[in-house]
Chains A and B, each alone.
Chain A
Amino acid sequence: MEYLLEALHVTKVFGTLKANDDVTLKVKPGEIHAFLGENGAGKSTLVKMIYGALQPTSGEFRWMGKSVTIPSPAAARKLGIGMVFQHFSLFDALTVAENIALAMPGAFDMKKLSERITRVSRDYGLPLEPTAVVADLSVGERQRIEIVRCLLQEPKLLIMDEPTAVLTPQEADQLFVTLARLAGEGCAVIYISHRLEEVKRLCHNVTILRHGKVVANVDPATETAASLARLMVGGDIHVVKSAREDQRGATRLKLDHLKLPADGPFSVELRNVSLDVKAGEVVAIAGVAGNGQSELFDAVSGERSLRDAAMLVIDGKPMGHDGVNTRRNAGAAFVPEERLGHGAVPGFTLSQNVVLTRHSSDEALVKSGMVSSGGAAGVSQRVIKDFDVRKGKPDPEARSLSGGNLQKFVVGRELDRKPGVLVVNQPTWGVDAGAAATVRQAIVDLARQGSAVLVISQDLDEIFEIADRIAVISRGQLSEAYPASELSSEKIGLLMAGAHELKETAHAARA
C-alpha cells in the first residue's frame, strides 16, 4: 500500500458549474498534504467528497488501494477519516467530555471517556480538562476539543479546514507540533489554508487547485511563498505598494478612554480604549477573535451609542452620541466584518445595497424621501467597474456573489465616497488572494490620499502588509500603537496573550 488515499479523475458538477474537474491526487500515510487555492477553487467540495458529505459526479476514490464510495461522514469515520471544520460544532453549555460523548458512536462510559480524553490530549500536547464547560474556553481550546474528538477515533487521515485562522501565533505553533507528531505516527493530514508561509513550514506536499482543476503538485520546500501564490492565482500576484514615507497629518479619528459595557453574556466590555489615527496612515488593531473587536467596531461606527460624546472624535468633532448616519455625513465610512446580513442585505440587489449605507450621505440616491433607483444603479455600476466585481447578472442579489467579490463591492461602496475616516473590520476575512490584494491596495491608497484608516484584523500577514502602526486588543483592552517596523510576530503574540493588560493594571495600582 503506497498511497492511503487516491482521488482518480474526480469530477463534481453543480448545475452548470464544475466545482471539481478531473481532479487526481494522492496522499501517502504520514504525509501533511496541503490543499491551496483561492475561494471557489474547489477545495471545500473536494474535502467534502472525501469526508462523505458530497458524492462525486464521476471518478473514484481509493482508500488503501481499494476502490471505495463514501456515502456519508459516518462511513468516512468508519474508514478512519476525521475532519476538523473551520466553524466548530460545540454546545457552549456542555462540558468538554459531554461534547465529545455526543459525537461518539454507540454507548460510552463517561468516566472512561474522560480518562481517554485526558490521556490523548496530553499525549498530543493539546491539554484539555474534560469537566470544563465549553463556554469558558478560548477559541484555541475549542479547536482542541474538535481535534481530540477526531483523535479518539484513531484516524488514519485527518482533514483540517483553515485551522490557524482563529489561533494566536503561539497556539498555531503548538498545533503544528501536534500535527507533525501525528504525521510521524503515520497519520496523514490534509491541510487547507490560505497562509502560504504556514504551508511552507508545515507541509510535505502541496496540491494547488484553481477553478476546480489541479494546476500543480509541488514540494513546498523548493517553492517560495511568492511562487506558491502565483500558482494559486495564476499570474503574478499584486504586491501592495505603500509609499512608507512619513507623511502623517492631523488626527482625524480619536478614541479617548472609550468605555462600553458588555451587552450580553458573550459580549466583551471595552475598557479605556484610546487611539489616535492620523491623516495619511493605516493603523491596524490585531487580536484574537472575540476580544472586543466587534464591540469596538459597533462603538466606532455608532451602532451602539457611547456614554460620553468626547470618547469618539472625528475631525475634531465629538461624536460619541451620534448615530451611524451622522458619523457618515461627517465623512466617516465603515465596513463591518460580516458581509451578508450586516454589510449587505443578502436578498437585495447590489444597487439596493448601495442605498443601505449611502442613503443619508449621498443626495443623488434619495430625493424627497424617494429612492432613486437610477442613482443607485449608477453608483453600483461604478463600484463594480472600479473594483472588478465579478458577477453573473447585471444587478444580482448580494448573496449570489462569491465572498471575495461581495467584499470588493462592500469595501468599494464606501471607498467610492472618498471618506476622510475609514474603519474596516476584517477586510479580507475568507476572501481569495486576488480580491484580498485589491482590497488592501485600495485601503492603502485611500490613506495615502490623506484619509485616516483603522483596520481591525486577525490576519497578521495582512496587518504587516498594510499597517503603519499596530495596536493589539485583548479582553477589551487596547495596547499602545507601535510602529509596524518595531513589532515582530512574537511581540504581537505576547500582546495578544494580554501582556499589556498586566502593565496597565500595574499602572492603575501605582496611580
Chain B
Amino acid sequence: MRLVLEKRAEASGRMAILSPIIAILLTLVTGGIIFALRGLNPFSALYVFFVEPLTTAWSIEQLIVKATPLAMIGAGLAVSYMANVWNIGAEGQLTAGAILGSAIPVFFPEFQSPFTLVVMLALGIIGGMAWASIPAFLKNRFGTNEILTSLMLVYVIQLVLDWLVRGPWRDPKGYNFPKTIAFSDWQMLPSFQLIPPSIGPIYVNLGAILAVIAVVALAFMMGRTLKGFELRVQGVAPRAGRFAGFSREKTVWFCFLLSGGLAGLAGICEVMSTVGQLQPGISPGYGFTAIIVAFLGRLNPIGALVAAFALAISYLGGESAQVALGISDKTARVFQGILLFYILACDSLILYRLKFIGRTPQLAEGRA
C-alpha cells in the first residue's frame, strides 16, 4: 500500500475552500493532543481557548480590536504573495509606521485638530512604505532575496523603537518608563457604536472601518482591474507576465509599498487606539501572524478578513487560557504555527489528489 500525490488536470475549486477548514480541524485535534499530554482535559481546554472568547459583548469588541490590524496587514500581504513578492517584514513596517506617526504627538503635543488625526494616519502609511522600500530597492537593484532582507529589517526597526522610547522620545514625566507621552483627543482614533446598547453595546474604532475599506478596495482591485490581473499573472507565470509587457520591477515596488503602507497604517492605528502611546512591544506579532492570515484567507483580501477573526480568536484564547488554565499565552503562537503548517500541507491537495496505490505488483513471469 502506497500513498501518492497525483496531479489534477485543473485546480480543484472544492479543495480550495475545504483546505483551510481541514487545516483548522487538524489544528484543533493536534492542539487537543498537546493539552492532553500536559494533563489537561482537551475538550474543556479547547473550549476555553476557542469558544469562551466569543461569549460576551466585551470580548467581541476585543476580537474586532485584534482582527483589525490582522485584516489590514493580511489583505496587503495576500495581494503581495499573490504576485510572488514575499514581504515577510510587515511587523517591521508596522513599527516604522507607528514611529513616524507618533512623531506628531511627540514633537507637537499642542497640535490638536481633526487634521492631526489625518496627518498621523498619513505619516503611519508613509513610515510603513519607507521601511518596505528598502527590501524592494535591494531586490530590484541587487537581486537580493526579499524574504531575508524584509525579515531582518524587522529587528532593526524594533531596536530603533526601543532606543527612541528609552532615549530622545521618552516622556520626561514618565518616571523613566520607556514610553512617550500619552496621546490624547485628536491623537487618538474615534470610536463608533456598531450595535446599539439594547443588545451590546459594541464599539469599534476608526481603524476597523479603515480595515474593511482596505479589504474591499483590494478585493475589487484583484478581481476586476488590469492591475489585479497583472499581479496575478506575475505570481503564477512570471514569463507570461513579461510577455504581457508587465514590469517585474514595478510589481515589486507596488507590492512592497502597498503591503508596507497597510502595515504602517495598522501600526499607527494600534498606538492611536489600544496602546495610546509609543512604547516597546506595541504589537503582539501582528505582522507575523498576518502571514498566516493571508494564507488561511486563500491569498484573497476578503478571505483575509475572515481569517483575521480566526487568528484573533487564538490571541484572545491565549489570554484566557493563561488566566483559566495557567498555561503560557505563547500557546497561541504554537497554535498559529501549527495552523500555517497544516494550511500549506492541505493546499497541495488543490493541485494534487491523494491516491492509494495497491501493493506494488511483482514481476511475474512464466504464466503462459
Residues of chain A having any CB pair with chain B under 8 Å: 55, 62, 65-72, 75, 78, 301-303, 323-325, 328, 334, 336, 338, 341-348, 352, 355-357, 359-360, 366, 369-371, 396-397, 399-400
Contact = CB atoms under 8 A, between A and B. Distances in A.
B366 A343 contact: no
Nearest to B224: A370
28 contacts: A66-B366, A67-B364, A67-B367, A68-B363, A68-B365, A71-B360, A71-B363, A75-B363, A303-B242, A325-B244, A338-B239, A341-B237, A341-B239, A342-B240, A343-B243, A344-B240, A346-B237, A347-B237, A348-B236, A355-B226, A356-B233, A359-B244, A366-B226, A369-B225, A369-B227, A371-B228, A371-B229, A397-B10
A69 B363 contact: yes
Contacts, number: 94
Which among B232, B240, B360 has the highest number of chain A CB atoms within 10 Å? Answer: B240
Given A341-B237, A341-B240, A325 B9 contact: no
Contact of A357 (B224, B227, B244): B244
Nearest to A344: B240
Contacts of A399: 9-10
Contacts of B244: 324-325, 356-357, 359
A396 B10 CA distance: 9
B11 interface: yes
Contacts of A75: 363
Instruction: List 4 A-B pairs, minimum CB-CB distance, nearest first.
Output: A325-B245, A324-B245, A345-B237, A67-B368
A180 to B, nearest CB: 31
B226 A66 contact: no
Interface in B201-221: none
B362 interface: yes
B225 A370 contact: yes
A352 B229 contact: yes
Contacts of A341: 237, 239-240
B225 A62 contact: no
Interface in B235-260: 236-237, 239-240, 242-245
B236 A346 contact: yes
Nearest to A346: B237
Contacts of B236: 345-348
B361 interface: yes
B347 to A, nearest CB: 14
Contacts of A325: 244-245
Q: Give the interface centre of B236, B243, B363 by most chain A CB atoms within 10 Å.
A: B243
Contacts of B368: 62, 65-67
B225 A371 contact: yes
A399 B351 CA distance: 12
Given A69-B364, A341-B240, A370-B224, 20 more contacts: A66-B368, A67-B364, A68-B363, A68-B364, A70-B363, A71-B360, A71-B362, A302-B245, A324-B242, A341-B239, A345-B240, A346-B237, A355-B229, A356-B233, A359-B229, A359-B244, A366-B226, A370-B226, A396-B10, A397-B10
A356 B361 contact: no
Contacts of B9: 399-400
A303 B239 CA distance: 9
B221 to A, nearest CB: 9
Contacts of B243: 301, 303, 324, 334, 336, 342-343, 356-357
Contacts of A343: 240, 243
A359 to B, nearest CB: 6
Q: Which of B11, B224, B368 has the largest count of A CB atoms less than 10 A from its CB?
A: B368
A474 B367 CA distance: 55
A134 to B, nearest CB: 25
Contacts of A356: 233, 240, 243-244
Interface string B327-366: 0000000000000000000000000000000001111111
B233 A345 contact: yes
B233 A400 contact: no
A397 B364 CA distance: 42
A103 B19 CA distance: 39
Contacts of A371: 224-226, 228-229
A231 to B, nearest CB: 29
A357 B233 CA distance: 11
Contacts of B228: 371
A72 B227 CA distance: 48
Contacts of A369: 225-227
B245 A323 contact: yes
B361 A69 contact: yes
Q: Which of B237, B360, B366 has the most CB of A within 10 A?
A: B237
Nearest to B223: A371
A352 B239 CA distance: 16
A40 to B, nearest CB: 13
A72 B364 CA distance: 12
Contacts of A344: 240
B367 to A, nearest CB: 5
Given A71-B361, A347-B236, A370-B226, A400 B10 contact: yes
A345 B242 CA distance: 11
A55 B11 contact: no
Nearest to B240: A345
Nearest to B243: A342
Given A66-B366, A78-B363, A342 B229 contact: no
Contacts of A67: 364-365, 367-368
A325 B262 CA distance: 31
A57 to B, nearest CB: 13
Interface in B104-142: none
A314 B332 CA distance: 62
B188 to A, nearest CB: 36
Contacts of A342: 237, 239-240, 243
Contacts of B224: 370-371
A73 B11 CA distance: 29
Contacts of A338: 239
A98 to B, nearest CB: 29
B317 to A, nearest CB: 36
Contacts of A347: 11, 236-237
A403 to B, nearest CB: 14
A71 B236 CA distance: 36
A323 B243 CA distance: 10
Contacts of B237: 341-342, 345-347
A360 B245 contact: yes
A447 to B, nearest CB: 23
B31 to A, nearest CB: 33
A348 B11 CA distance: 10
A66 B367 contact: yes
Contacts of B227: 369
B174 to A, nearest CB: 49
Contacts of B11: 347, 397
A395 to B, nearest CB: 12
A409 to B, nearest CB: 14
Contacts of A396: 10
Contacts of A360: 245
Nearest to A353: B240
Nearest to A355: B229
A467 to B, nearest CB: 24
B226 to A, nearest CB: 5
Given A369-B225, A369-B226, A370-B224, A66 B360 contact: no
A208 B352 CA distance: 33
Nearest to A74: B363
A329 B11 CA distance: 34
A341 B239 CA distance: 6
A174 B229 CA distance: 49
A69 B225 CA distance: 55
A68 B224 CA distance: 57
B143 to A, nearest CB: 13
Nearest to B358: A55
Contacts of B361: 55, 69, 71
